[in-house]
Amino acid sequence: MHFHHDHLVRRSNGTFHFRLVLPASLSRSLGKKEVHHSLKTKKKRVAIPRANQLYRTYMDMKKEEEALFYNIYLKLADGTKVEIDHETPEQELKTAQALLSTGSSPSAIGMDLTDLIDAYLTDTKNGVTPRTQTERRGALSAFLSLYDTIDHTSANGFSDTLKRLPPGFKKDDIKELANQSHDRVLSPKTHNKYIGFLSAFNTWLMRRGHLNKNYFSGLVVKKTTQSHKERDPYEPEEIKLLLDGITDLSGFKYWLPRLGLYTGCRLNELCQLYMDDVDEVDGILSLKIQEGNEGQHLKNLSSERIVPLHPDMADDFNEYLKTVDNVRVFPELTYTDKSYWGGLASKWFGRYRKTIGLNKTFHSLRHTFASNLQANGVDSRIISELLGHAQVGETARYTGKRPVGQLLDAIKALKF
């Protein structure tokens, strides 16, 4: 592989990004097929040497990866075919000898489960955000607090335990909490996230010869009717109740619910806005949902987009911006690896909606935005583009983004 300018991608905001389809050895260890990095410049002459450096870094990683991994393939007495894939030939030989002596592949051959978890998190950390890494370690630690091996009994037992735990549980309290009754328990989404992390770890163990099946496969649970209701669109009377209650507030508490309702943006997309993310595009005041500034994260590549502001709020929002003496639109908000810029706002909104008797989340504003546009005859493809849905990203490669004026016409169709 040789570096060429196809590795440079220029985003809609003019910033260059580095893109590389990973060779098989790196794809396996990093857990992804390609990587993207912002080069944090709009100048091609600056972007090229930075991209070159990244390319050399990944090629060095490839060489190290191929030098470290010496795979052994076995067919066991029970018919199981196993690929043993460790960091050194010595570890692989130790595992192979243990497998051949037992004739099957139990859960933690040659290494303690704690050591395997540490090795897994280290081996797969590249390309993983600090927030996801923290969540992965938390899920694996929760499992480890109950079990010291992975099999059918422990996987099913862990899934059942998760269903009885309250939100915000601590791993040291799991056994006690699981035997108590709680007004609220983990949502299906959170349960499935934990199971997903364990399933990914299980798959990693299979590739290294420690297991011969994924015991967490099939343990995801369906969303309950209640969890669906929490993300249903707001009814007209609920919208009035929501907005009336923040009339006398200021800063993010005043603007986030309004922006969520009139732009359909995700909470963190709004919380992470910098002043230069709010600008006139074709003469229309718009939000630029993008990466590039410190701490900014997008859900996926298609999330990068321009969302024009509704005329009913554009002037007032512009006046608010004139009062902000900071590089960020909502300087009261702080950053954490777990919640990015949205943690404080999420907690505030959760408390606020309860005080006014609403059970719907901030994300319901996004559903309200979409359903209102749909009810007023806006083309579904334009709605998807405004929301930054992934399928539009594939189409946009060929058709390009729509003019901001056309997007504004869609926004004007909102009726609340």
Question: Torsion-angle region of residue 86: left (phi > 0), alpha (psi -120 to 50) or beta?
Answer: beta
Q: Which CATH class is domain 230-411?
A: mainly alpha
Could you tell me whether strands 278-281 and 284-289 are parallel, antiparallel, or unpaired per DSSP bridges? antiparallel
pLDDT band for 395, please (50, 70, 90 cuts): very low
Identical fold between 72-225 and 230-411? no
Q: What CATH superfamily is the domain 72-225?
A: Tyrosine recombinase, N-terminal domain (1.10.150.130)
pLDDT band for 397, please (50, 70, 90 cuts): very low
- C-alpha distance across the termini of the chain, in Å: 55
pLDDT band for 131, please (50, 70, 90 cuts): confident
Segment 393-410 shows an average pLDDT of 69
Predicted local distance difference test score (pLDDT) of residue 13: 85
What residue spans define the domains of the chain?
A: 5-68, 72-225, 230-411
Helices (H) and strands (E) in the chain, counts: 18, 8
Segment 196-206 shows an average pLDDT of 91
Q: Hey, what amino acid is at 95?
A: T
Lowest mean pLDDT among 34-48, 133-147, 280-294: 34-48
Which two structure tokens, joined as six digits, stand for 188?
């299906």
Query: Are 126 and 26 spatial neighbours (Cβ–Cβ below 8 Å)?
Result: no
Predicted local distance difference test score (pLDDT) of residue 109: 42
Q: Hey, what amino acid is at 296?
A: Q
Could you tell me whether strands 305-308 and 284-289 are parallel, antiparallel, or unpaired per DSSP bridges? antiparallel
Which residues contact residue 136 at a Cβ distance below 8 angstroms, ignoring those fewer than 6 apart?
A: 121, 128, 197, 200, 201
Report the C-alpha gap between 286 and 392 in whole angstroms: 19
The torsion defined by the Cα of 401, 402, 404 and 410, in degrees rounded to 10, comes to -130
Query: Are 86 and 95 spatial neighbours (Cβ–Cβ below 8 Å)?
Result: yes
Predicted local distance difference test score (pLDDT) of residue 84: 54
Burial class, 184, CB count within 10 angstroms (exposed 0-12 / middle 13-18 / buried 19+): exposed
pLDDT band for 35, please (50, 70, 90 cuts): confident
Burial class, 176, CB count within 10 angstroms (exposed 0-12 / middle 13-18 / buried 19+): exposed
Lowest mean pLDDT among 5-9, 29-33, 368-372: 29-33
